[in-house]
């Protein structure tokens, strides 16, 4: 988590950090998930972030079993963790949307090339479109559909409290 926080403070992507540090993007991803790091990797990252290796090694000890030891000043705040999670959700939606567009475009091309008299591509477009719309509603905070106010009312209702 510390590496991710330091990377985000610099405004770098994982790929940029990998290029600057001479490590692979895969290694950066592994470390951000909390996996172990070698001393050479820690030295490389410490020099990039201009911090002492000991500051990193306290978080990514070799052959450790417990969770990384986090100093109070290096923990992600609740807001930071929530923002990171929200960005991941939005990224997932965009990936879903891109895949939807590519596959559905291919299906329409296939439909029009093989049997233009029978338009069957509507069915997967409609079905998968409902799934994409549901994903978007879940990720994008649309206040008129299942927003924070709706959630609050539902929680209060389940707890038997009156609003």
pLDDT digits (tens, 9 = 90+) for 70-121: 444 556 777 787 888 889 999 999 999 999 999 999 999 999 999 999 999 9
37 plus 6 within the same structural domain: yes
pLDDT of residue 53: 77
Indicate the pTM of the whole model.
Answer: 0.47
The CATH number of whichever domain residue 57 belongs to comes to 1.10.260.40
Provide the strand spans (E) within 108-153.
none
50 plus 109 within the same structural domain: no
Per-residue HEC secondary structure of 64-89 comes to CCCCCCCCHHHCCCHHHHHHHHHHHH
Considering the chain, what percentage of its residues have pLDDT values greater than 70?
82
Query: Structurally, how many domains does the chain consist of?
Result: 2
131 plus 147 within the same structural domain: yes
pLDDT of residue 6 exceeding 70: yes
Which of 146, 133, 139 has its CA nearest to residue 92? 139
The whole domain housing 113 covers 78-158
Residue 163 lies in a domain: no
């Amino acid at each position: 988590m510390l590496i991710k926080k330091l990377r985000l403070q610099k405004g770098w992507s994982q790929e940029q950090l990998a290029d600057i540090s001479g490590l692979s993007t895969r290694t950066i991803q592994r470390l951000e998930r909390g996996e172990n790091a070698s001393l050479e990797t820690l030295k490389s990252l410490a020099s990039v972030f201009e911090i002492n290796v000991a500051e990193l090694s306290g978080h990514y000890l070799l052959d450790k079993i417990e969770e990384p030891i986090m100093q109070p000043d290096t923990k992600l705040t609740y807001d930071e963790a929530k923002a990171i999670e929200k960005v991941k959700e939005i990224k997932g939606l965009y990936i879903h949307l891109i895949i939807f567009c590519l596959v559905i475009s291919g299906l329409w091309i296939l439909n029009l090339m093989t049997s233009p008299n029978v338009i069957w591509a509507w069915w997967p477009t409609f079905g998968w479109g409902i799934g994409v719309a549901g994903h978007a509603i879940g990720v994008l905070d649309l206040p008129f559909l299942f927003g924070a106010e709706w959630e609050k009312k539902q929680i209060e209702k389940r707890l038997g409290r009156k609003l």
